Amino acid sequence: MAKDPPGAGTSKEINLTIPMLPNMEIAATQTAEAVARFMEFDPDQIDAVKIALIEACINAFEYSNSSEGQVYIKFIMNPEDLVVEIRDHGQGFDPEHPAALPKKHRGKGLTIMRGLMDSVEIASGPGGTTITMSKARASR
Amino acid sequence: MTNDLQVHVRKESSYAVISTDGYINNVGGEKVGEIALGLVDEGYKNLILNLEKSNVVNSIGVSILIELVERIQDVEGRLYFCNLTKVIAKTFTIMGLAEAAGIVDTEAEAIVALAAPQEA
């Protein structure tokens, strides 16, 4: 029987900070993919985490109006799930009544996150926004 | 970091296939849209968009694809998507693209679907 790695059964964190620059969300998905693979997620679960994370990042890029221009991402590897926290220090928004977007077919980012992850929680205020999403580990 | 989307076009007698490789974001969506509308201008009103080598999209890219589908429908053309990952197919459904365009598993199925008479 394979021996569990040191620290198995406890939560582990990885922190990543990305600048709000074009395509930097892809840098975040590369870390997400490595973490999810380590946790033995299946390919569909990995894709779901990546696309939900992309949506959270571009929400921050496009709508936070953050003056510092950074997004802080925390991956928490729990025994039962992967939690991804995406935080910006922008102006915040009302998640129940997000602003109407001028372009047709836009504004579905939160719906996509909710459709692809097991849970999505949003805390937003004048100091910024934190989106916390979770995906259960693949059953083994 | 550019992550440029690579696009390959194959023209057949009655349809054209656009194959993508990479991230379909705003820039990628616009690139696909320009190529597809160029093909429509050339007379190719039956198009297949093969996403076999694209496993990440974002909602801005998908919104541009929805606009593309609407423009192709305006000229009585047809567009089928094929080789989508399960998660991209689900994203298309959430965004409403699955209602607007045909989605099939394989390029061969898309060719068969395009050969069928168009519904009134």
Topology, domain B6-115: Transcription Regulator spoIIAA (3.30.750)
> CB distance from B59 to chain A under 8 Å?
yes
- Structural domain boundaries in chain B: 6-115
Please classify residue A62 by burial: count the beta carbons closer than 10 Å to its beta carbon, then call 0-12 exposed, 13-18 middle and 19+ buried.
middle
Judged by CB atoms closer than 8 Å, whether chains meet at B56 and A104 is answered as no
> Which domains, ranges and CATH numbers included, belong to chain A?
13-136 (3.30.565.10)
Q: Which residue reads 């299946």 in tokens?
A: A42
Judged by CB atoms closer than 8 Å, whether chains meet at B59 and A48 is answered as no
- Residues of chain A in contact with residue B61, where contact means CB-CB under 8 angstroms, are none
Question: Among all residues of chain A, which has the CA nearest to that of B25?
Answer: A23
Judged by CB atoms closer than 8 Å, whether chains meet at B91 and A26 is answered as no
Please classify residue A31 by burial: count the beta carbons closer than 10 Å to its beta carbon, then call 0-12 exposed, 13-18 middle and 19+ buried.
middle
pLDDT beyond 90 at B100: no
pLDDT tens across B5-36, in order? 999 999 999 999 999 999 999 999 999 999 99
Q: Would you say the C-alpha torsion B115, B71, B58, A110 has a positive or negative sign?
A: negative
- This complex has an ipTM of 0.90
How many CB pairs below 8 Å do chains A and B form together?
69
Judge whether A117 and A44 are in contact, CB under 8 Å: no
pLDDT tens-place values along chain A, 140 residues long: 556 655 667 899 999 999 999 999 999 999 999 999 999 999 999 999 999 999 999 999 988 999 999 999 999 999 999 999 999 999 887 776 666 655 666 678 999 999 999 999 999 999 999 999 999 996 54
DSSP-H helix ranges across chain A: 24-38, 43-63, 109-116
The predicted model gives B67-96 an average pLDDT of 95
